[in-house]
Amino acid sequence: MIEGPRIAIDAMGGDVGPEVMVAGAADARADFDNLSYSFFGDEAAIAVEIAKHKSLSEGVKIVHTDGVISGDDKPSQAIRRAKDSSMGLAIAAVKAGEADAALSGGNTGALMAMAKLALRTMEGIDRPAISALLPTLGDNDVVMLDLGANTECDAENLVQFAVMGAAYARIVLDIERPRTALLNIGSEDQKGTGLLKDAAARLRAADAIPLEFTGFIEGDRLSRGHVDVIVTDGFSGNIALKTVEGTARFVADLIRRAFTSSIRSKAGFMLSRPAAKLLRNTLDPNNHNGGVMLGLNGLVVKSHGGADANGVRNAIDVAAKMAMADITRRISEDLENFPEQAIKDAAE
């Protein structure tokens, strides 16, 4: 009997579907051999893929449904189909206590809408946020949020995001007091909107929770490794994320073009293959896959739609770590320790 984190997987989500989702789940057993899975979707297609992996010979359940949320479905449409879709059923398993985390590579807007409706936001949190890890030149990755759940935020939302991001960083980065910064157009205290200045004042007063507020950070410093958590609204965060991913692809394609431009360049590539492999691994989004929807009464993880098996494996690893560390409880404890009077004084 496998007893460990129970992961509910939307097997039909993502660009490929069951083949990649099942393969990633099988590979994740090498990292956490006590994981159990519930796959939601086309039973026949899922069963075919499970049969290919010996590591999935036990601790696996299939729940059949014909309903699939497409990438074109609007959140309102998805909500109406939640009860019979693979995505909705995976979230429902978390709500019912039958799973410790839900994972999907499907429509992000639909996933957030259904998760928020089914699980509700936890006490003390006004809005959930999507958080993920980005590569840096430092000793560890950086946690960034919000990456697209909320296009508009107020100062209180940003403060709550900082609390959630710091709790997340303590788990995945193993840092006792994560260095936390607000994304801004400049690092100087006088730069930015009144909203950002208000959020900064509140965070400076928050010395009762385990985070070190370092002030503002500019977009060109995201990957330098100078901070552990970067906080922003979902509009700016999503733009920043897509810019980082686009730049990574641009650099990789540019290097590939340079190394194939001539016979001499090809010879140079053979000599520099170890360095090129390191660069490719660092820039590969599959190696940083798994966006956690923080602030809900339940754990939901978003995988890249185009993730390969290794990417799904990494997303499942994130889900397992968050479940075992009880991320919701940690956030609740931090919120309870937040110096409310100091926040009010800073805001006045």
Collapsing DSSP to helix, strand or coil, 275 comes out as helix
Residue 274 domain-assigned (yes or no): yes
Same domain, 104 and 128: no
Q: What angle do CA 145, 29, 288 make, to 5 degrees?
A: 25
- Pair of tokens at residue 192: 């930015």
The residues pairing with 39 across neighbouring beta strands, listed in sequence order, are 9, 62
Same domain, 153 and 183: yes
User: Which residues form the domain of 148?
Assistant: 124-291+324-348
Q: How confident is the model at residue 207 (pLDDT cuts 50, 70, 90)?
A: confident
Cα separation, 187 vs 334, in Å, equals 26
Same domain, 92 and 163: no
The residues pairing with 145 across neighbouring beta strands, listed in sequence order, are 131, 231
| 73: amino acid identity, one letter | D
Residue 82 domain-assigned (yes or no): yes
Residues 134-161 pLDDT 10s: 888 888 899 999 998 888 899 999 999 9
Same domain, 139 and 60: no
Task: From 87, 119, 151, give the residue that closes a domain.
Answer: 119
Same domain, 102 and 209: no
Same domain, 141 and 5: no
Residue 21 domain-assigned (yes or no): yes
- Whether the bond between 84 and the residue before it is cis, its omega within 30 degrees of 0, is no
Same domain, 177 and 77: no
Same domain, 29 and 74: yes
Residues 289-343 pLDDT 10s: 889 999 999 999 999 888 899 999 999 999 999 999 999 888 888 887 765 544 4
Residue 277: the pLDDT is: 61
Return the number of other C-beta atoms located less than 10 Å from residue 111's C-beta.
Answer: 31
Residue 223 domain-assigned (yes or no): yes
Same domain, 141 and 188: yes
Same domain, 184 and 132: yes
Same domain, 202 and 108: no
The residues pairing with 103 across neighbouring beta strands, listed in sequence order, are 9, 301
Residue 306 domain-assigned (yes or no): no
Residue 66 domain-assigned (yes or no): yes
DSSP string, 68-112: ---TT--HHHHHHTGGGBHHHHHHHHHHTTS-SEEEE-S-HHHHH
Residue 280: the pLDDT is: 63
Residue 83 belongs to domain with CATH number: 3.40.718.10
Residues 47-89 pLDDT 10s: 999 999 999 999 999 999 999 998 888 888 888 888 899 999 9
Collapsing DSSP to helix, strand or coil, 9 comes out as strand
Task: From 119, 147, 175, give the residue that closes a domain.
Answer: 119
Q: How far apart are the first and last CA of the chain?
A: 57
Same domain, 25 and 162: no
Mean pLDDT of the chain: 87
Task: From 90, 119, 148, give the residue that closes a domain.
Answer: 119
Residue 305 domain-assigned (yes or no): no
The residues pairing with 229 across neighbouring beta strands, listed in sequence order, are 143, 180
Residue 241 domain-assigned (yes or no): yes
Residues 324-334 pLDDT 10s: 999 988 888 88
Return the number of other C-beta atoms located less than 10 Å from residue 77's C-beta.
Answer: 14
Structural domain count of the chain: 2
Cα separation, 21 vs 303, in Å, equals 10
